[in-house]
Structure 1
Amino acid sequence: MTMGSAINPVANIHIKHCNIGAYKGLQNIELRDLNVINVLTGNNNSGKTSILELLETLEDPENIYRWYAGVRFWNARYRSSQVFDGIRLLFPIDSQEYKILYSFMEASGDEHSIELHADIEERKFSSEQIYQINKKYGIFPDESDSGYIIDGKCMNLTSSIDGKQNDTVTIYDFQGDLLRRIVEKKIVFFKTLYLSTVAHVSHRFSLSDILRDAEMHQSLVDLLKIFDANIKNITIINERPVEYGFVLDNCNEAIPISSFGDGMKKTIILAAYLLQAKDGILLVDEFETAIHTSAMDEVFAWMAEAALRLNVQIFMTSHSEEAINKLLRIGYKEYINVYTLYKHEGINYVRRLAGEEAIHATDTLRLDLR
């Protein structure tokens, strides 16, 4: 299972510091001296997932669709209002100003600042204007109601990077979707991949790069043996849509991955995302989800080893004291930091512990890291 021969002992930490001035319920949050693996923990609603959402925009912060990834409600009944209201709720909830602000320092020492600003205005719209705006997004409302006038709102969104302002994008409260091609996609800072708590349920992932890499392929097979000792290979069993399966020692045909448990699916998708995040940043929400405690030691060790090999910096959230403690004891403590988020009298605070400090705090001081 080891990939140790390929590890560079000096890991490249892409982001050294990050300061969040304002985003959703977060204000003046400072993450200092970031490591290869950064665990974000704390009570519910302390802002852990919000930090992942914000870091995801690093790949392309001038593209409004990147920011829209932070919108969490996807009820189809209210689809027409999700774009406008969803983006509006990204802005600080206790401020009269619609402004998101964060900054970060690269390992090289270069510093950057990102802002997203919104102006909201009320206007009257004719049925023809509404039709033409929605048509742009591939939505064709009923034209039989032509001639009416409604009161509506529009939001003018402007992002800026290091003080340089980008083109303004306007969205409307009757807009039914968001155009992905608002700006030409380009990687501005780092490649970022976000792995949600339910991604392993969708089965939408690619293993093609893993299957082409003989060492990674065998390493993943060895890891999956902790779930089923009979696994001897992973292969493609259907091209369109792509479906993967396991070849077992005692079976003549490959069995679809979808037939196995969530723990195995979570491990596979974690591996797929790690490989895709090569030389970039992986964001994992509740990294222990679906992984049984008996498998955590080996899965977490594999994850850390792969991150070092692939030059991936990881940010991940957790509610589990057991999972955090197991992660700290897999043999990579020098590459792990734990950040505990909490609020006191409405003010955000962060407690940072390096791996060795976190182990001492739990073993000697009996401190709950959460």
Structure 2
Amino acid sequence: MAFYKFFKIVNFKNFKELEVQDFGRINLIVGKNNSGKTALLEALFIHSGAYNPELVVRTYEFRGMNLLSPISIKKSLEFLFYNFDTTRPVELIGKVQTSKGEKHSKIKLEILREDERLKEVSSITFFRQDTPQAPILLGEIQSGLATVFQLSHEEGGEVKKYNLIITANSINLNPPFPAPPFEAIFLPARGSVPLTFEADLFSRLRLENLHEKIISFLKIIEPNLKNIEVLTFGGLPILYGDVGLRTPLPLALLGEGLVKLSKILISIGVAKDGVVLIDEIENGFHYSVMKNVWKAIAKMARECNVQVFASTHSFECIINAHEAFIEEEQYDLKLFRLERIGENIVVIDYDKETLDEAIKANFEVR
């Protein structure tokens, strides 16, 4: 299991420095535009990956930026740093409760410029020495023509370093990074999860007999839904839903709300004992079903022992979340509002009592 208790961000995007603590099972992140809601989710996603510097690039893809060339990736790295100050490293520090106890880990992200550190990187064997790429890449690192973006992971006094090396024509990861300590899935506000990928995730849940639970929750959106199955469309596997018509239909044709909730619940099922991060969770849902959507998310997260982080702009979404958890046996919702004060962003947290008071008094908590 993995359960974030504390998280600190330094020099990352909107954040000069930010500390958040006392997370719950379900965590709702709110705040005005450009307050850093998505950036907080991205920081958690990068930290959860532990050893993979390529996750930084993936966060730009979540925002709809298709970084197709090494040059565009190199340029995007500058945007990672607060005020574009690449002389100071990004630091992501987390305290995570696991089945083996509490773990403290720190990730540092930086662009290497010092000759000594570049020599240290170039001394590592990237390819078999008999390949033509090796001397070319080593020469570009030593001469400063290559950009070396380094992720260092510190835990229990041990530091391990992983490099993303970008030249004019290539992108290289070295050394190979291990699997992350726990599963983390990010559902972006823009774009969509490929249908074939969603079908693959559902197939994994089918093997664990979690599919029936997901189908029962999806009836919140489509009461006529009888079954979901993986069928081929144009030679590719995608999800189909049986709603009592002559033939099953691709899930994508049964409405945005059904597709959105299926992605969330499938992700929670696959990320068992891990983390799911959802940007702009309200998108695709009619307000009238939002309370039951929250109940479904809460039940699925508890059953799969998953911690959920979600951002929203919607006051109705906040109210529905609060009311949904009040009606549950366990109120395990926390709300965190990000607020910009001058150059800094601060976090204000709400538990059951303070959120209830704020909603009744019509205070602005978004």
TM range (shorter): 0.7 to 0.9
| Number of equivalenced pairs | 330
Alpha-carbon distance in structure 1 between the residues aligned to 2:241 and 2:28? 32
Partner of 2:341: 344
- Which of these residues, 150, 158, 168, is aligned with residue 158 of structure 1? 150
Deviation at 1:340, TM superposition (A): 0.4
Partner of 2:55: 66
Alpha-carbon distance in structure 2 between the residues aligned to 1:243 and 1:272? 14
Partner of 1:353: 350
Deviation at 1:110, TM superposition (A): 3.2
TM-score by length of 1: 0.80
Partner of 1:313: 307
CA gap 1:344/1:112 in 2 versus in 1, 3 angstroms = same
Q: Which amino acid aligns with 2:347?
A: V
Residue pair 2:24, 2:334 contacting (<8 A) in 1 also: yes
- Which of these residues, 149, 155, 178, is aligned with residue 186 of structure 1? 178
Partner of 2:34: 45
Residue pair 1:121, 1:153 contacting (<8 A) in 2 also: no
Residue pair 1:37, 1:315 contacting (<8 A) in 2 also: yes
Deviation at 1:168, TM superposition (A): 5.8
Deviation at 1:83, TM superposition (A): 1.1
Q: Which amino acid aligns with 1:241?
A: L
Question: Secondary structure in 2 aligned to 1:102?
Answer: strand
Alpha-carbon distance in structure 2 between the residues aligned to 1:323 and 1:362? 12
CA gap 1:120/1:244 in 2 versus in 1, 3 angstroms = same
Partner of 1:369: 365
CA gap 1:292/1:201 in 2 versus in 1, 3 angstroms = farther
Question: Secondary structure in 1 aligned to 2:43?
Answer: helix
Partner of 1:79: 69
Residue pair 2:163, 2:175 contacting (<8 A) in 1 also: no
- Which of these residues, 228, 242, 245, is aligned with residue 240 of structure 2? 245
Question: Secondary structure in 2 aligned to 1:14?
Answer: strand
CA gap 1:366/1:306 in 2 versus in 1, 3 angstroms = same
Deviation at 1:80, TM superposition (A): 4.4
Q: Which amino acid aligns with 1:247?
A: D
Deviation at 1:152, TM superposition (A): 8.1
Question: Secondary structure in 1 aligned to 2:165?
Answer: strand
Deviation at 1:60, TM superposition (A): 3.1
Residue pair 1:40, 1:315 contacting (<8 A) in 2 also: yes
Partner of 1:54: 43
Q: Which amino acid aligns with 2:149?
A: L
Deviation at 1:69, TM superposition (A): 1.8
Partner of 1:235: 229
Alpha-carbon distance in structure 2 between the residues aligned to 1:76 and 1:34? 32
Deviation at 1:201, TM superposition (A): 6.6
Q: Percent identity?
A: 21
Deviation at 1:356, TM superposition (A): 2.8
Partner of 1:211: 206
Deviations 1:291-343 (A, max 9, x none): 11121111110000110110000111111111011011113472011110011
Alpha-carbon distance in structure 2 between the residues aligned to 1:84 and 1:348? 27
Q: Which amino acid aligns with 2:363?
A: L
Residue pair 1:211, 1:217 contacting (<8 A) in 2 also: yes
Partner of 2:127: none
Alpha-carbon distance in structure 1 between the residues aligned to 2:67 and 2:89? 29
Residue pair 1:200, 1:265 contacting (<8 A) in 2 also: no
Q: Which amino acid aligns with 2:353?
A: E
Deviation at 1:217, TM superposition (A): 2.5
Alpha-carbon distance in structure 2 between the residues aligned to 1:353 and 1:74? 31
Deviations 1:95-118 (A, max 9, x none): 352411021112344322221121
Deviations 1:111-138 (A, max 9, x none): 222211212489xxxxxxxxxxxx96xx
Question: Secondary structure in 1 aligned to 2:60?
Answer: coil
Question: Secondary structure in 2 aligned to 1:27?
Answer: strand
Partner of 2:316: 322
Deviations 1:239-260 (A, max 9, x none): 84212211233x2321111222
Partner of 1:28: 17
Q: Report the more deviating stretch, 313-322 or 77-86.
A: 77-86
Alpha-carbon distance in structure 2 between the residues aligned to 1:350 and 1:175? 42
Alpha-carbon distance in structure 1 between the residues aligned to 2:261 and 2:212? 14
Q: Does 1:115 align with 2:108?
A: yes
Aligned-residue Cα RMSD (Å) equals 2.9
CA gap 1:80/1:156 in 2 versus in 1, 3 angstroms = closer
Please, which runs of 5 or more residues in structure 1 have no aligned partner?
1-11, 123-134, 137-150
Deviation at 1:164, TM superposition (A): 4.4
